[in-house]
Amino acid sequence: MAHTDHLKLTRRSFVAASAAAAAALALTGCQAETQVAKTGAATSIKGVTVDPEFDPESGAEWIPIVCNANCGGFCENKVLVKDGVVLRQKTDDTTEDTWASPQLRSCPRGRSKQQDTFGVDRLKYPMKRKGWSADAPNGEKRGVDEWERISWDEAFQIVSEQVKKAIDQYGNRSILYAGTSTSFGQIANCINGLGGGLSSSSTESFGSCQYYSDPVIGTPLNGIGESNDRMDFVNADYIVLYGCNQAWASPGTYTYAFDEAKQGGTQFVYVGPEFNMTAAHFHAKWIRVRPGTDTALLLAVAYEMFKLDEAEGKGKVIDWDFLAKYTVGINGDAMPKDAKVKENFYDYLMGAYDDTPKNAEWASPITGTPVEDIRWYADMMRKSNNVMHLRSNAAFRCNDSDNLLQLYTTISLMGGHIGKSGNCADCAYHGTVGSPKNDPIFLAGDWAAGGTVYPNPIQSVVNDNELWPAVLEGKFNNTGNIVFGVLLPESQEKADIHVIVMDTVSSMNTKLDAMRAVEAMRKVDFVVTTARQFTVQAQYSDVVLPTVSEWEINGMRNQATWYANREALVIGRKVCEPMFEAKTDQQVGYGLAKAMGLPADEMYPTSEKQQWYNLLSTTTMRDEKTGEWGNMFSFTAEEIEALGAKGKPQDGFMPVSEILEKGVYKVERKAGDGYTYYGYQNFIKDPKANPLGTVSGKFEIYSQTKADMLNAAGRTKDFTWKPYPSYKVPVNGYEESFVDGDINGEKGEYPIQMFTPHYLRRSHTQFDNLPWLRHAFTNPVFIAAADADERGVKSGDWVRVYNQYGSILRPASVSQRFMPGVMAVPHGPWLDIDPKTGYDRAGCENVLTAPVGSGCGTAGYNTNLVNFEKYSGELPADYQLDPRVPAGIGE
């Protein structure tokens, strides 16, 4: 049975099951003893009661809630609550749905979020693994052991004792914060007060863009922040979506943002290894490119642009005046003063250094892109066209893609496609779609929690690819925290790790080489995790601390301004009190600090109610006409008191009571308004007064800074990074799918290139446990029709996907939309290892990823080689599996 047929056949039963589940949730609600009460007397129609939504006397209230998953949607959700019981849910209806102010409509993930808070798999209280003791950790039982309930005091005491024991016996470097968030979390703050621990870092979502910041080539950190705003989309002749799939990754508003341009005649172009749903929606021209070969493709595009310019007359295709004014390094006549290498981009393309011109004929066998499409791409980028070059981070989550952002930007610079209407080169990732982060409209306030925040005295950082080897082998290369764009010279260091801390992370699912994660977790003396459900990290821990969901606290989605929708401010109110014995992050930190003998009251002097007021009262908005910043919310003395806080009344753009009721405020836009922005507009207007952060103050097509950083980091063997963009054969890339790397020879043992797209069922790993989504989205692996036919696989068949790192079992979805030799394994399933076979039944993509970190330390999620075969066994569908709950815990 085909994957799509399965969805059609089960839709009616899915809706019925959803209704039944919603009814069951309503009966349990937020308070275990609360039952749904009658909503009032019958209406004039005998036996019919008034729906509480429309009965003003029912006491039901619509409460705005935060969908705080990291998908980038930032959608508006509300729940109808009566007596602490959620009756139903809806999305944004605060305004009419217009292009000027589109509704922030929720996707299936947000609409299923009540199962995240009220699901049967919710952790109720602190737990300890039965087989663990301080004297006998029995680490081999992690992942399969039973559990027992303990008190919060006991949990804090165990964590405190184990941390102190490790520090006393092995030193502070024996503590590992296993995940970027953990390195800055509440538990880490407490441990930092005792001398700190080893931090960890990863390029994660951003790939090789992570080390790019203003001093490197002139782009902002991660190459994000300088796009044109969405109102300018209509002025583009072409919009290139390079690896983008908003329809799956952050559906709703961000796909809709492009619709006006499509209706106005803008041609969309999609570049990637599969013709995805976003490309199909916009009827985009598909430029095929194999995973990890994007550098080769764009080098050929640049070459063909130069050749077109020579053929048609200098300046017809390439904007030489623009290059001279705003860039350095395009050729030998434009070299920067700090250049150490007597080479340049143009001569490299022409083959001056290796006798290999980087033309379309050179690139096509590598990339799989037809020669005519490469030349079409080059012609499209000519200066007379208005081109918006927008990308996701997918192509940058590839091994050895460290030249790609410089090259991607260079292509646009050559055509003068930056700093003016209808033209830009930036990112369309998460909330960055038409939302330039360097020109915000709202600025989230400050929680002003006060208190002591202990810096980590240990500056060593373990990179993603070395996270588990650092535990198992005791060594790593410390090149600094790449999350902040730091890339330091190579520093080989030793590690003797005995305690692993997992705080608000999903590292066992999201870091490279998941099977070694299991080994690492079983090796150490003690593991502590915070979790809402019995996540993979919780399953392999010794003590688990249950934490609250977003519905049990107040929150603002715009705190992460870098990813937020520029035109909307979204807040969520508390729906119910914390479930069972769950605690907030601050409560966890406070309790652990006391157990460790730290000054907890000094660390947490401000109540969470006061912090909520602080955040709202200091949030600001920029006036469209004057450009001045002012308070977003006005407060009366009564409103401050109602929040349980102390403060002074203030004027603002809108009453705080209004945002607390509606949950969202959206700017109404119009063409040419005061919020209009073109990426890098200030630099383009006056480059001397507004220089970029590079040595030259301009965009650097030749960047000595880039080359020096990458070469000093010592993560790339047998290759010297050039200051200009050049091609390096990527580790585990297309060439390595052949015997001896010969693309004209025979395919090797692992001939299929695997990439890991976002999927509608999840936001990263969040939501993967929710029954409604597990029923609606089966999480198959997506296989090119040619490869499936060769192995006798059809849609709906179970397959084993495998390589030297592990095996996963998933149903197949066979498609003509994928390039031959390419497979997509969706990102984010919760690892579920069959103890008999060792196969992962969930389809966790990182079972198959190689622990490679070349260049800046890029986690190459999209450059991995696998094989697959039809699987003869039968497995239940995900929605038929029992909820993941800790064994041995009674009701």
Predicted confidence at residue 558, as pLDDT, reads 61
Q: What is the mean pLDDT of residues 600-619?
A: 96
CA 158 – CA 96 distance, rounded (Å): 54
pLDDT at 22 over 50: no
Q: Are residues 240 and 285 in the same domain?
A: yes
Q: Does 787 map to a domain?
A: yes
Helices (DSSP H) in 654-805: which residue ranges? 656-662, 681-685, 704-713, 771-776, 785-790
Is the pLDDT score of 521 beyond 80?
yes
Size of the chain in residues:
891
Q: Which residues contact 768 (CB under 8 A, 6 or more apart)?
A: 761, 762, 774, 828, 829, 830
Distance CA 720, CA 737 (A): 23
Within this chain, do residues 306 and 389 fall inside the same structural domain, yes or no?
Answer: yes
The H or E element that residue 638 is part of is helix 637-642
Q: What are phi and psi of 683, to 5 degrees?
A: -65, -45
Burial grade of 239 (CB within 10 A; 0-12, 13-18, 19 or more): buried
631: part of which helix (H) or strand (E)? strand 629-631
Helix axes 360-367, 371-380, angle to 10 degrees: 120
CB 638 within 8 A of CB 647: no
Angular region, 802: left φ>0, alpha ψ -120 to 50, beta rest:
beta
DSSP 635: B
Examine the fold and report which residue of 678, 710, 742 is the final residue of a domain before the chain moves on. 710
- Which CATH number characterizes residue 704's domain? 3.40.228.10
**Does some domain include residue 679?**
no
Asked if residue 842 has pLDDT above 50, the reply is yes
Look at residue 40 and tell me whether its pLDDT is greater than 50: no
Asked if pLDDT for residue 562 goes beyond 70, the answer is no
Same domain, 239 and 377: yes
**Whole-number pLDDT of residue 333:** 97
Q: How confident is the model at residue 59 (pLDDT cuts 50, 70, 90)?
A: confident
Inter-residue contact 609 to 645 (CB < 8 Å): yes
pLDDT at res. 182: 83
Residue 650 within a domain: no
With tokens 């994000």, the residue in question is 224
Q: Residue 345: pLDDT above 60?
A: yes
CA distance 700 to 77: 44
Distance, CA of 65 to CA of 429 (rounded, Å): 23
Residues 231 and 280 in one domain: yes
Residue 542 shares a structural domain with residue 498:
yes
Report yes or no: 270 and 286 within 8 Å, Cβ to Cβ.
yes
**Domain assignment of residue 677, yes or no:** no
Rounded to the nearest 10°, the torsion over CA 81, 84, 85, 90 is: 30
Name 749's Cβ contacts closer than 8 Å, sequence gap at least 6.
867
Is 218 domain-assigned? Answer: yes
The distance from CA 419 to its chain's CA centroid, rounded to whole angstroms, is 27
> Are 268 and 409 within one domain?
yes
pLDDT at 43: 43
User: Does residue 82 sit in the same domain as residue 170?
Assistant: no
The whole-chain average pLDDT of the chain stands at: 92
Tell me if residue 480 falls in helix, strand or coil: coil
pLDDT value for 18? 38
| Number of independent structural domains in the chain | 4
> What's the pLDDT at 14?
33
Where is the domain boundary, 710, 742, 764?
710
Question: Is 183 inside a domain boundary?
Answer: yes
Residue 44 gets the label, from left (phi > 0), alpha (psi -120 to 50) or beta, of alpha
| CATH code where residue 510 lies | 3.40.50.740
Task: Name the residue among 396, 397, 414 with its Cα closest to residue 405.
Answer: 396
633 part of a folded domain: no
In this structure, the answer to whether residues 322 and 221 fall within a common structural domain is: yes
Same domain, 847 and 706: no
User: Any idea which of 68-77, 173-182, 581-590, 611-620 has the lowest mean pLDDT?
Assistant: 68-77
Question: Is the pLDDT at 9 greater than 50, yes or no?
Answer: no
Q: Which residues of 189-225 are buried (b: 16+ CB within 10 A; e: fewer)?
A: bbbbbbbbbbbbbbbbbbbbbbbbbebbbbbbbbbbb
pTM over 0.75: yes
Mean pLDDT of all residues in 529-543: 98
Q: What is the pLDDT of residues 727-749, one digit of tens each?
A: 999 999 999 999 999 999 999 99
Q: Percentage of the chain with pLDDT > 90?
A: 84
CB 597 within 8 A of CB 686: no
Q: Name the token pair of 219.
A: 């782009």
What's residue 69's pLDDT? 77
Q: Confirm whether 397 is domain-assigned.
A: yes
Rounded to whole angstroms, how far apart are CA atoms 370 and 733?
Answer: 19
The stretch 842-847 carries a mean pLDDT of 98
- 596 closest CA partner among 256, 167, 178: 167
Asked if 209 and 562 touch (Cβ cutoff 8 Å), the reply is: no
Residues 385, 388, 391, 396: is their CA dihedral positive or negative? positive
User: 629 has which bridge partners?
Assistant: 622
Same domain, residue pair 89 and 147? no
CATH number at residue 762: 2.40.40.20
| Whether 179 and 247 share a structural domain | no
Average pLDDT over residues 661-681: 96
**What is the dihedral sign for C-alpha 156, 158, 161, 164?**
negative
| High-pLDDT (> 70) share of the chain, % | 93
pLDDT given at position 50: 62
Q: Which structural domain, as residue segments, surrounds residue 329?
A: 209-441+693-710
Contact 475, 493 (CB under 8 A): yes
Quote the strand ranges of 547-596, DSSP E. Answer: 555-556, 568-572
Q: Domain check: are 232 and 188 in the same one? A: no
